[in-house]
Amino acid sequence: MVLLHGAGATSSTWEVVAKAIAADRTVLAVDLRGHGASDHANHYSISTMADDISALLPKIADAPVDLVGHSLGGLVALRVAARHPGLLRRLVLEDVGMPHPRVPNPPSQPPGDLPFDWKVVEHVRPEVDNPAADWLSVVRAIQAPTLVVAGRDSFVDAAHVHELVTTLPDGRTVTLDTGHEVHAERPDEFIAALRAFLSP
């Protein structure tokens, strides 16, 4: 299993989930470019992050993996799954909806040291606010069975989650009583949903 965090987070956000799942399978939590221990870059995009993960997966596994992505990590995972279906066995998206344009409301850079390069926000946030035109074809191209774990009280529009699930060729959803940080706020329920979906 490979775990991809959200924007501004690091692989450490998966600690509780990874420890639980690692009891009976290999788990790797990855720092996306510009986050945590990964290198900073001059340019960031969902596509380049997907390229990074697509290049990494064959190096760490000799069989298709189960890919889990939260928020930005989920968007990255969607592009990986669409481009390289042979690399994935199953896909899990945590609180991700079908991308739609939204009114830009960029955050201000907080003071002090950050666990990620602030340029990630400056480069990727516009992609989220004004999504690429190909997202519908990306989602329709996903071959892996996909579970979307949504937060009932999240800022992600439930209608967009539903649209994503129904557009996926093999999609299903579980909604938990939490906000956007589903695996952090409800780890036991999130882990149970993972295990139920990913079991052989």
The reported pLDDT for the residue numbered 188 is 98
CATH number at residue 158: 3.40.50.1820
Residue 199 one-letter amino acid = S
Residue 46: other Cβ atoms inside 10 A: 22
Is 153 a member of any domain? yes
Is 109 a member of any domain? no
Burial of 197 (0-12, 13-18, 19+ CB in 10 A): middle
Nearest C-alpha neighbor of 82 from the set 47, 108, 126? 47
Strand 88-94 to 171-176 pairing = unpaired
d(CA 40, CA 43): 9
The reported pLDDT for the residue numbered 129 is 97
The reported pLDDT for the residue numbered 185 is 98
Is 107 a member of any domain? no
pLDDT at 200 over 80: no
Given a contact cutoff of 8 angstroms between Cβ atoms, the answer to whether 73 and 120 are in contact is: no
The total domain count for the chain is 1
Is 136 a member of any domain? yes
What integer best gives the mean pLDDT of the chain? Answer: 97
- Give residue 85's pLDDT band: very low, low, confident or very high (50, 70, 90): very high
Condensed to tens digits (0 to 9), the pLDDT of residues 88-97 reads 999 999 999 9
Mean pLDDT along residues 64-84 = 98
**Entry pTM:** 0.97
Is 56 a member of any domain? yes
d(CA 27, CA 66): 9
**Domain containing 90: what range?**
2-102+115-198
